[in-house]
Structure 1
Amino acid sequence: MNAAVKRQHSSAFLPEITTHSNKWRKGTQHRWKRDSLQTGLVLDKSAQILSKEETARSFSELFSLLRSDQDRRAAAEPGSALSLQTPLEEQQDKLETIKLHLCQAEQAERTENLEQARQQAEMCLKQAEDSGWLDSAGQPLRLRACQLLGRIHSQLADASLAASNYQKALTLLHEGYSMAAESQDKQVEGEAAYRLGLAYQCTGDHDTAKKFFNTCMQIFGTLQDADGLGKAYKAMAKSLESQGNIDGTVHCLEELADISRRNGLQYNLVDACLCLGNIFCTMHQYRRACESFLQGYDVACHIGDVALLQKAQVLLASARAHSMITKYSADVKAATPVALKRLMAWKETERHRELSADYTDHTASVWY
């Protein structure tokens, strides 16, 4: 299969056929033809359709199902219930049904017809339920169908969230979360929990949102997924801030900064520093805000992101201005000759020395 086709299917449900698929297919056909004429006919017919790029990966799954069924039957004890079952290659109705659902689900997802993709994936799940069949990666086909359904439900929820139809979005996301949990893929389950938390956050239900963010943290922590864990902490910080829990917000953002620093996630580190600086500004703690903005600025300089650097510069300058204005605001408000004289004296003699004393030490403690 050429590179363009591989890129086309890179995000789809079904796995890519390996570069050795032709060699494997010939060897598999030879072995199956020797054991069963009907199996050989099925493979010969499927191999012809396999040359069509748009359905190649679906037929890869059919090959794997047939091989899995034959291997299971070969390993069964003579006279056992499994050995007496009708071979899958002789159950043409099941093969045709599975093939149809796999192809249509793949095609629907590729063309972003998500409702149709969901219907076909649900049919595939029903067909594979309790079958014990494995896909080409050796994973139960039922679990792969659950993964597909979880992803489709999340994509369907995006449109509802964009239209502020939160109830429908939550229903879809809960269905997707259930499918993700059933798929036994913790990465997928963690992402589904994160998306549910964000959806509840949009509705203002921060208590429920925090429950899902906690679940997300536990999963990503176990997986040692620093990026996933960091975004969960940031989302938790947002909910805590909305509830007025500033101490909790600062704690979560500091955890985000620490995780990012330990794992070399410098963009996440800049984000954490700037968020912390903004929180300190809302608390009128401008000196702490300057420290956070300065750390973010230094990391932005290190990674060479001009847009991020400019953002950090503006925030740092604003915080420094507020820090100085706070100290001399009484004289500014008074506007008396004596007050103005003090301000002019400060401008000429004190500004640079004060800035040096306050900030020089911080430039050496960069978080990277």
Structure 2
Amino acid sequence: MTTLPPLPMTRPKLTSVARQKLPCVPSTIPRSVWIKEKDDIDHYLEVNFKGLSKEEVAAYRNSYKKSICVDMLRDGYHKSFTELFALMEKWDALREAARLRSLSWLQRPLEDQPEKLGHFYHHLTRAEAAERQEHFEEVYDNLYALACYFNNSEDKWVRNHFYERCFKIAQRIKIDGGKKEAEAHAHMGLLFEEDGQLLEAAEHYEAFHQLTQGRIWKDETGRFLNLLACESLLRTYRLLSDKMLENKEYKQAIRILIKAFEIAKEGSDKKMEGEASYYLGLAHLAAEEYEAALRVLNTYSKISIDLEDDLGLGRAYEAIAKVLQSQGKMTEANKYLQKVVEIARNNFQSLDVVRASTMLGDIYNEKGHYNKASEYFQQAFDTTAKLTDMGNMDETKVHYGIAKAHQIMLTINNYIESEDFTGLDYLLSWKEKRSSIAPHQIIGGSRKSSLGSLYQIPENLKEELNGFPDNRKNET
């Protein structure tokens, strides 16, 4: 067998020089000898290859992460190094925890993300240099830049870290009238709100609102900070009131929503004022304070009309209908719900059509007008069928089925109570064919109404009544 000569192995120039200077030797050589020979290699490279310093050689040898840490320490940015090192340790700890939950792919190693390391180095060192000179605004700007850069779902904990640092630095800025402090309160409010700590969030948003009152400060997008403070407070107050209503703490919920309504009026934003009045009205309804609920909800409907906000008007009318229904004023509630259906159809709001139609069906069902109830329940069911909303479809199907059952039950009872051969003939025909039977009209709530007065049969039931003889509907 012919033995082929070994293939020549190409090596980089620096590697070849290093191999000549430091050939492969047994691993029993002491560590001190290895270090001395490494220093000899560095010196050799620096002398024989002009323009390549020891630091540049180290840059090729070390990782980007290690090079950044070395540069921080070498240039005297010890605070920046300490903060970065702590963040890297936490980063690795989070990756390990994710790995144990089989989610390790959600967080890449920091060493594999040089752009993030570069941002850390740039802004942390600039912030430390500015802090030494007590230029706290520049410190804030650099820390805020880092918070914005890490404002994503993967690195949100890094953003929160720099939000907290911004808040501490903002307390030391005295030359801007408190604008940076107001912004820092807004960031801390968002941090607590996302964490579900609503009381702490409300405290920061209240401070944000107080600092921006009477100011014309704007954010980077051109929005007034005072308006943002009002919106943030309203959102937090509403979330707090929802929890209070769940716990049946009605007075506290109403109190905090009244406060939200006053803040909305101060913000001079009619849409925001309308939203606040809507939630306040719902709280009064939950507390069974119907007159107060109607008063506030009528305010919302007027604001919606002025703003030509059809969707807001539909919400107002639906809430008013619920109040009237709770008061037993079914006729008035019926009128408002029909307006809701009309508005929702004109604006292609299918779910609003479903809710309003279901409420109308309930009203007619309670009053014993089962034919009309079936019509509205079928309207709700057909709408959910078009949306392929299985949850709502099953619910509306049950309502529709119950109303139709009431129709048949009432008609059969009337035929039984008529006690004549014609009624008996109808019952035997129905039992034989098991098709729907034409319902009777109820006059004055009495079941023993005239058998000659029948409900008008809706179009959607005609197919089911084909088996029933039409020429016998008015015999009795």
Distance 1:135 1:251, change over 3 A: same
Distance 1:159 1:270, change over 3 A: closer
Kept after mapping to 1: 8 A contact 2:185/2:208? yes
Distance 2:438 2:176 in 1: 84
1:342 to partner: Cα distance: 4.7
239-248 vs 345-354, which moves further: 345-354
Q: Does residue 231 of the first structure (1) align with residue 330 of the second (2)?
A: no
Distance 1:197 1:362 in 2: 40
Q: Does residue 145 of the first structure (1) align with residue 229 of the second (2)?
A: yes
Q: Does residue 119 of the first structure (1) align with residue 203 of the second (2)?
A: yes
Distance 1:185 1:273, change over 3 A: same
Distance 1:333 1:138, change over 3 A: same
1:352 to partner: Cα distance: 5.2
Within 5 Å, give how 1:65-214 maps onto structure 2.
91=175, 94=178, 97-98=181-182, 100-214=184-298
1:193 to partner: Cα distance: 0.8
Give the residue type in structure 1 aligned to 2:298: N
120-129 vs 96-105, which moves further: 96-105
**Hey, which of these two has a bigger chunk of helix by percent?**
1
Show CA shifts across 1:28-49 (max 9, x none).
xxxxxxxxxxxx9555323321
Distance 1:279 1:46, change over 3 A: same
SS in 2 for 1:284: coil
Instruction: Give the equivalent residue in structure 2 for 1:48.
Output: 142
Give the residue type in structure 1 aligned to 2:226: R
Kept after mapping to 2: 8 A contact 1:226/1:259? yes
Instruction: Give the equivalent residue in structure 2 for 1:278.
Output: 362
Distance 1:230 1:363 in 2: 33
355-364 vs 135-144, which moves further: 355-364
1:252 to partner: Cα distance: 1.0
Distance 1:330 1:96 in 2: 78
Instruction: Give the equivalent residue in structure 2 for 1:314.
Output: 398
Instruction: Give the equivalent residue in structure 1 for 2:107.
Output: none
Kept after mapping to 1: 8 A contact 2:163/2:188? no
Show CA shifts across 1:223-249 (max 9, x none).
444433222222111110111211111
Instruction: Give the equivalent residue in structure 2 for 1:359.
Output: 458
Distance 1:217 1:59 in 2: 45
Q: Does residue 249 of the first structure (1) align with residue 355 of the second (2)?
A: no
Kept after mapping to 2: 8 A contact 1:197/1:210? yes
176-185 vs 166-175, which moves further: 176-185
Distance 2:285 2:399 in 1: 26
Unaligned stretches of 5+ residues in structure 2: 1-118, 120-133, 148-158, 168-172, 440-454, 464-476
Give the residue type in structure 1 aligned to 2:319: A
Give the residue type in structure 1 aligned to 2:379: Q
Whichever of the two has the greater Rg, that structure is: 2
Instruction: Give the equivalent residue in structure 2 for 1:291.
Output: 375
SS in 2 for 1:230: helix
Distance 1:306 1:145 in 2: 40
Give the residue type in structure 2 aligned to 1:215: T
Kept after mapping to 1: 8 A contact 2:250/2:287? yes
Distance 2:327 2:400 in 1: 27
Instruction: With a CA cutoff of 8 Å and minimum separation of 6, indicate the structure with the bigger relative contact order.
Output: 1
Kept after mapping to 2: 8 A contact 1:152/1:176? no
1:254 to partner: Cα distance: 0.4
Show CA shifts across 1:246-296 (max 9, x none).
111111110111011111111211222222111111111111112212222
Distance 1:307 1:156, change over 3 A: closer
Give the residue type in structure 2 aligned to 1:173: L
Give the residue type in structure 1 aligned to 2:322: K
Instruction: Give the equivalent residue in structure 2 for 1:37.
Output: none
Instruction: Give the equivalent residue in structure 1 for 2:116.
Output: none
Distance 1:264 1:100, change over 3 A: closer
Kept after mapping to 1: 8 A contact 2:411/2:438? no
Kept after mapping to 2: 8 A contact 1:154/1:173? yes
Aligned-residue sequence identity (percent) comes to 25
Instruction: Give the equivalent residue in structure 1 for 2:58.
Output: none
SS in 1 for 2:178: helix
Distance 1:294 1:343 in 2: 26
Backbone CA RMSD of aligned residues = 3.8
Distance 1:330 1:255 in 2: 35
Distance 1:340 1:235, change over 3 A: same
Distance 1:223 1:55 in 2: 42
Kept after mapping to 1: 8 A contact 2:179/2:217? no
Kept after mapping to 1: 8 A contact 2:164/2:188? no
Instruction: Give the equivalent residue in structure 2 for 1:9.
Output: none
Give the residue type in structure 2 aligned to 1:319: A
1:140 to partner: Cα distance: 2.8
1:198 to partner: Cα distance: 0.8
Distance 1:58 1:226 in 2: 42
128-137 vs 175-184, which moves further: 128-137
SS in 1 for 2:458: helix
Instruction: Give the equivalent residue in structure 1 for 2:24.
Output: none
201-210 vs 288-297, which moves further: 288-297
